[in-house]
Structure 1
Amino acid sequence: MVSLTRHMIAVGLLAASMGLSGCGPAATTQSKANQTAATGNQDQFPLASLGIINAKLRTPVAGRPSAGYLGIENQGQEADRLMAITSPDFGRVEMHDTQSDGGMKKMVKLDGVEIGPGNTVDFAPGGKHLMLFEPTRPLKNGDTVSMELTFANAGPMTIRFTVLDEIPRQPSGMGDMDHSKMDHSQMDHSGMDHGAMDAPKQ
């Protein structure tokens, strides 16, 4: 009787062991499936393929917009497009480009910017840049500003910009037009020539 009881216990333990080993791979597969469902198309357009560098903006001057700069690196295999930028610290944020038209320099508002695979797009003085209007709080040198960059494929990405009194000038064939020191209240950027307008430093 004792021998039979021991045999039944051994069989029960063996069955339990086989059941656990059978559940192992299935549980792992289910976990991976859940992870895939949670990330959606992240494998096709991973957020990690987009890198943001040198995010900074000029300290706002009362009554005038600030200028923001950054670099966007696309390390993925697919092109992406920056569609919009918002910030809780500003009423609105626009993307602008400084272009040449018949030897004259002109600022043009952009609806979006494409970043090709393996490419880097720079928002820098004298070229593409951000214009930030209507600050919602006082900002000083060293502060940080949160902005949400929305991409067509990667989706929204929150980036912190550093506020600086002075932005290092970079060589550019377009020159460095300091829009943050200009009065934009009555300006029509779409057809305006900014070539000779570089307000003095304050």
Structure 2
Amino acid sequence: MKSIYAAVALGLGTVVLGGCSEKPAETQEAASPLSATDGKLFLPAVEGNPAAVYFNLKNDSDRAIAVRRADVEGAARAELHDYMEYDDTEMGSIGMVTIEPGDTVKFEPGKKHVMAYDLSPDLKPESVTSVTLTMAGGDTMSFDVDVLPADAER
């Protein structure tokens, strides 16, 4: 009688384990609702100063998207910045950039941009690095930017 139970258990185990050997359905990473173009990182003119990163960011979705953080490969830290008007025009860190559906926000000189601090010496002109943006809710998107010398045309 024990041999019958053993045979049944062995048979069921084979069926169950056989199901585990099937390849899982492939998962496709969801496309980002944002797209970035024209990415450029301008190295600082004075070593030790931060770099400036510019790009165009388009919201291809039907809802507003808030970008709350930027990270730059090869920089110890990065911040979203904008020029603000007080008594004089000042540049400062901003907490978030909201992009309305269908809109494009330009990160450009004299306006919104990303400041990249404590740069790696590996960041050289004519190379490429990556920027990762984190949106409210935690989703991220990454894109490449060209690394340019400080005196390159902006």
Structure 2 length normalisation: TM-score? 0.73
Shift of 1:50: 1.4
Larger helix proportion, structure 1 or 2?
1
Query: Alignment identity in percent?
Result: 30
Choose the corresponding residue for 1:91, options 57, 76, 89. 76
Aligned residues: 128
For residues 27-86 of structure 1, the C-alpha deviation after alignment (integer angstroms, 9 at most, x for no partner) is: xxxxxxx67xx469x4xxx41x31101110112341111111111001211111111111
Shift of 1:87: 2.7
Shift of 1:125: 0.2
Q: How does 1:49-198 map to 2 (within 5 A)?
A: 49-60=33-44, 61-102=46-87, 104-152=88-136, 155-165=139-149, 166-169=151-154
More relative contact order, 1 or 2 (CA 8 Å, 6+ apart): 2
Contact 1:80/1:153 (<8 A) preserved: no
Larger radius of gyration: 1
Runs of 4+ in structure 1 deviating by more than 3 angstroms, as ranges, are 166-169
Larger strand proportion, structure 1 or 2?
2
Structure 2's unaligned 5+ residue stretches are: 1-24
Across the aligned residues of Structure 1 and Structure 2, the Cα RMSD in angstroms comes to 2.1
Structure 2 counterpart of 1:199: none
